[in-house]
Amino acid sequence: MSPATTTESPYAWWRLVVSLLLMTLGGVGMYSVTVVLPRIQADFGVDRGAASLPYTLTMVGFGVGGILMGKLSDRFGVMVPVLGGAVGLGLGFIAAGAATTLWQFSLAQGLLIGLLGTSATFAPLVADTSRWFDRRRGIALAICMSGNYVAGAIWPPVTQHFIDHGGWREAYTFIGVFCLLTMLPLALVLRRRPPPEAAPVPVAAPASATVVQGDRPLGLSPGTLQALLCVAGVSCCVAMSMPQVHIVAYCTDLGFGAARGAEMLSVMLGMGVASRLISGWISDRIGGLRTLLLGSVLQGVALLMFLPFDGLVPLYLISGLFGLFQGGIVPSYALIVREHFAPMQAGVRVGTVLMATLLGMALGGWMSGAIFDLTGSYQAAFLNGIGFNLLNVSIVFFLLRRARARGIGLGRSSQGMVNTVSTPV
């Protein structure tokens, strides 16, 4: 079957739906541990920083696993890592539910759930989706990555319900069995390999300096641009993690209860789904860098709003706004990679940048808990997130200035590639 009949074909859209479902199921690895954080702290008799460690290890494993799974996907196709991820996720939840010490619980979260499980349902699916779409790549990536936030909208209240009615161990065991039964058959739908892609588009430059796109993206070496995107990813997600990881514990401290916190997290991530879809539509028109800057600035505004308000109704409203503002940030990184790097590097490069965002979530989740232990309040943790968000905005602004200085069009052409430039790089 030719690329013309497979790219953006009905099968490609059906495959996108399956990828969305798999990412929604796999996303439970990220969000269940935030819901059980207060129970873990009480059950194992540890402080808030130590109770945040399982989340940190999960996100570290998630990030590192993204590169590993990306390489497996590039070599064997996306079905192989997803099948392995389903097994890792299922066994990981069952093992975590049986843990008798914090280190056993943390090991199950970091290795089985993070490194081998959830990582297989994120970066590989994103990279694979980008290869089945060209004209609508931005919105396709947004739909796929919405699964991460659909998981955040669904799993916290579901997990909290099972915790309230049977305990956190029983909830974890149920989740593990459910993942095995649902994800394994869905993974088989992804057995077909993506269609071949055209070579990267040459950048129009003076006759003395014709450069192929990806050789010097934005006038930088590929490694330098990748490193800047990784630092930006860490920074924005340190900021992002403060409300996402600690909103349940924050509400518990304020006397509203864990159930209200789980609801706020669900609202936050539910609005993130809308944000990702809107941002995907926007990014197809203004490009990944501008979309990333827009989301980063608005995320900083939402973080500032957490400082003066701690009432129940304001926190619901701010949580919704936070989700609406920041949901499009992470998909923008995947789009930027596809705009500026060769398609055959998609799995590894997307996996590396997404790893940085996940490491940012891991670092921010731990830092916020440690700052709380030091200060007895989350106010300093919010300020810490705002500072990291400013670093992210600075890097994106720098990249945008380099793009403008070289006359690079930041919108996307009908083939989903970066527009040409007319000045030397």
Whole-number pLDDT of residue 411: 55
- Asked whether residue 49 is assigned to any structural domain, the reply reads yes
Q: Is residue 125 part of a domain?
A: yes
**Are the C-beta atoms of residues 397 and 236 closer than 8 Å to each other?**
no
The domain spanning residue 139 has which CATH number?
1.20.1250.20
Residue 230 located in a structural domain: yes
Taking only the tens place, the pLDDT of each residue in 282-327 is 988 888 899 999 999 999 999 999 999 989 999 999 999 999 998 8
Assess if residue 412 is contained within a domain. Answer: no
Residue 424 lies in a domain: no
pLDDT score at 413: 38
Domain ranges, residue 91: 3-405
- Beta carbons within 8 Å of 287's beta carbon, 6+ residues apart: 335, 339, 409, 410, 411, 412, 418
Domain membership of residue 410 (yes or no) is no
Q: What is the pLDDT of residue 350?
A: 80
Return d(Cα 43, Cα 382) in angstroms, integer.
27
pLDDT at 60: 84
Give the pLDDT of residue 71: 83
pLDDT tens figures, 189-209: 999 988 776 444 433 333 333
Residue ranges of the chain with pLDDT lower than 70?
A: 1-6, 197-214, 343-347, 408-425
The three-state secondary structure class of 211 is strand
Please tell me the total count of domains within the chain. 1
294: its two tokens? 């827009």
Structure-token pair, residue 162: 């099972």
The C-alpha angle 6, 11, 16, rounded to 5 degrees, equals: 110
